[in-house]
Homo-oligomer: A and B are copies of this chain.
């Protein structure tokens, strides 16, 4: 993958096209061996392209095919292929008709969009003016698409993806298993002996929202690949059990929501250190109003009392960051918001406010329902954003386990 455009190399920019393309190619079973970003300079682009042409079966270039002087990708492709750049009069007519249909002026600067290296075919651009290019040389496919994400995606899906699917020689299946409540080394150890098997790939990714296992299996045909995937998934599920909270695009908040819905239960929250982040995660799920009533963000001690009903004696004796306060927050959320289950979170998010007894990262979490109050104390690593984010993950995961343990109530 080669992305062309000086603006892409500005600090702080992300090349979202590459991430989208990598994901689509991965689904097609195409291994990505290199990707690059390069400024709008014809010789640099050509030099990268020439290196890629020597070693890859598929090269996708995005960007630099518009009408401006900066747009030099067509020229660079011709140079890398050592073919002349030729103006296609049919394409000129097509562009002029297109511009006329949209009532836009067709200026001479637009003409270069009808230039292509000898032997290249056009890829129609249904959403913009610049057409793409396709070159097949020996065993290599070189494809040039616009940098505008909506145009690039539409053209890839309409033209390139079917062609690649047709050429694909391997069958494979893939899934993502999502894990919470367990450290990365512990997951790694639990499945270490499963990594080394032919036709199987397991990648472990770790983040604030949990751990992901990317699974991928090859097979003689789609059925064999799927069956190999099922077998490795089954084995991992046997080992990690309830620590696996979901699959593919599932989120913890969605899984919790589905469990609550199934059990006809409703939820509310009372947050101190997370300051609304737990409510935001829960309400990020479309339709969450069916099972989430609302929440209290109680940042001051006065509000912890007035709004959530934490007793002043608890705040004085145990302090705002304590088991007792977390439990009273959970109860308060439940009563104030009229829900079946209440969650309370209080802690020291940092960077200031830590003490020897209550260091930065110390978080108390509580759940309250009609049967009981539950409590957990944690010391979470990282900066303010990490501590807050991890608190939300743990809260949702504990809630999930609690709901699973309660079983299915009708």
Contact = CB atoms under 8 A, between A and B. Distances in A.
Interface stretch (A165-173, A184-192, A288-296): A288-296
A164 to B, nearest CB: 16
Contact of A294 (B33, B38, B205, B307): B307
Interface stretch (A47-55, A231-239, A370-378): A47-55
A280 interface: yes
Given A276-B277, A337-B307, A352-B287, A47 B54 contact: yes
Given A47-B51, A306-B338, A288 B280 contact: no
Given A294-B297, A295-B276, A384 B23 contact: no
Interface residues of A, number: 71
Nearest to A385: B284
Interface in A259-305: 269, 271, 273-280, 282-284, 286-289, 292-300, 302-303
A383 to B, nearest CB: 10
Interface stretch (A9-17, A67-75, A94-102, A113-121): A9-17
A279 B286 contact: no
A60 interface: no
A36 B39 contact: no
A87 interface: no
Interface of A is mostly: mixed
A307 B336 CA distance: 8
Contacts of A22: 9, 11
A34 B37 contact: yes
Interface string A17-51: 00100110010000011111111010110011011
Contacts of A273: 283
Contact of A276 (B11, B278, B337): B278
A32 B7 CA distance: 11
A284 B275 contact: yes
A303 B293 contact: yes
Given A33-B41, A44-B55, A48-B34, A23 B11 contact: yes
A8 to B, nearest CB: 9
B299 A294 contact: yes
Given A9-B33, A9-B35, A55-B43, A303 B294 contact: yes
A403 interface: no
A382 B10 CA distance: 25
Contact of A26 (B11, B26, B271): B11
A111 interface: no
A350 interface: yes
Q: Which one of A50, A292, A303, A336 has the greatest number of beta carbons of chain B within 10 Å?
A: A303
Given A279-B280, A293-B302, A306-B338, 12 more contacts: A9-B22, A9-B33, A34-B48, A47-B55, A51-B51, A274-B283, A275-B284, A275-B292, A277-B279, A279-B279, A284-B388, A288-B299
Q: Which 3 A-B pairs give the minimum distances between C-beta atoms?
A: A275-B283, A276-B279, A276-B276
Interface of A: 7, 9-14, 19, 22-23, 26, 32-39, 41, 43-44, 47-48, 50-51, 54-55, 203, 205, 212, 214, 269, 271, 273-280, 282-284, 286-289, 292-300, 302-303, 306-307, 336-338, 350-352, 384-385, 388
21 contacts: A7-B203, A10-B205, A12-B23, A12-B212, A14-B14, A34-B36, A34-B38, A34-B44, A36-B37, A36-B48, A47-B54, A48-B48, A274-B283, A276-B279, A283-B299, A284-B388, A286-B352, A293-B302, A293-B303, A294-B300, A303-B337
